[in-house]
Amino acid sequence: MIVNRVAQSGIITLNLEDFFPKQKTLVFDLKPFLFMELILKEKDFRKSLKEHDWTIYQAKNVAITCTADAIIPMWAYMLVARYLEEQTEKVFFGDENTVHSILFQQTIATIDVEQYRDKRVVIKGCGNKPIPPTAYLEITRRLKPVVKSLMYGEPCSTVPIYKQPRK
């Protein structure tokens, strides 16, 4: 008789892909709005922003960045955020990876960790979506105080991360 010891072990698998942001993330780069992609001219910048089609950002998360090696005054980011705020889900400073890291941390912060109290938990390691390292750090920080053991990988092949001391 074949016995599936993994299924009988009571290990709970937590897949961080389940917490992947549902809304699409777009990046708003200031570089094309700069004179010669290097210098911010206020009058031209304001005109370009006014003429820009902001509806493409509707119901999306937007990362504001500047990929040019230019000095950008803070008010420029604020002005872009003002326009975006009317269309978007959320506005962030940084790139797409930064947005995903922040959103993962916000989502993981809402998890009811009590459901994992004194349980053996495996954080799934492989998947189809890019999970930021900050998500693994945050889930470890949240679960360590309550779990019996915390592992990384797949239930059939795990790397131990934490084991609760015997009482």
Give residues with Cβ within 8 angstroms of 167, minimum separation 6. none
Tally of domains in the chain: 2
In a domain, 35, yes or no: yes
pLDDT at residue 3 tops 70: no
Measured CA to CA in angstroms, residue 135 lies from 69, 80, 104, 123, 127 at distances of: 30, 28, 6, 11, 14
In a domain, 73, yes or no: yes
**Can you give the residue range of the structural domain that contains 109?**
5-21+100-163
Looking at the structure, tell me whether residues 83 and 30 fall in a common domain: yes
pLDDT at residue 146 tops 90: yes
pLDDT at residue 124 tops 50: yes
In a domain, 118, yes or no: yes
End position of a domain, from candidates 54, 88, 122? 88
In a domain, 94, yes or no: no
End position of a domain, from candidates 37, 63, 88? 88
123 within 8 A of 141, measured Cβ to Cβ = no
Give the Cα separation of 141 and 102 in Å (integer).
Answer: 15
In this prediction the pTM is: 0.76
Looking at the structure, tell me whether residues 108 and 158 fall in a common domain: yes
End position of a domain, from candidates 36, 66, 88? 88
Give residues with Cβ within 8 angstroms of 38, minimum separation 6. 68, 69, 70
Looking at the structure, tell me whether residues 35 and 83 fall in a common domain: yes
pLDDT one-digit tens code per residue, 30-68: 999 999 988 999 999 999 999 999 999 998 999 999 999
Looking at the structure, tell me whether residues 143 and 123 fall in a common domain: yes
Give residues with Cβ within 8 angstroms of 43, minimum separation 6. none
Looking at the structure, tell me whether residues 9 and 32 fall in a common domain: no
In a domain, 95, yes or no: no
What 3 state SS string does 111-156 have? CCHHHHCCCEEEEECCCCCCCCHHHHHHHHHHHCCCCCEEEEEECC
Give residues with Cβ within 8 angstroms of 47, minimum separation 6. none
Q: How confident is the model at residue 2 (pLDDT cuts 50, 70, 90)?
A: low
Please name which of 69, 61, 63 lies closest in space to residue 31, comparing C-alpha atoms. 69
- Report the largest interatomic distance among the alpha carbons of the chain, rounded to a whole angstrom: 78
Looking at the structure, tell me whether residues 138 and 104 fall in a common domain: yes
Looking at the structure, tell me whether residues 55 and 17 fall in a common domain: no
In a domain, 93, yes or no: no
Q: Report the 10 Å Cβ neighbour count for 29.
A: 15
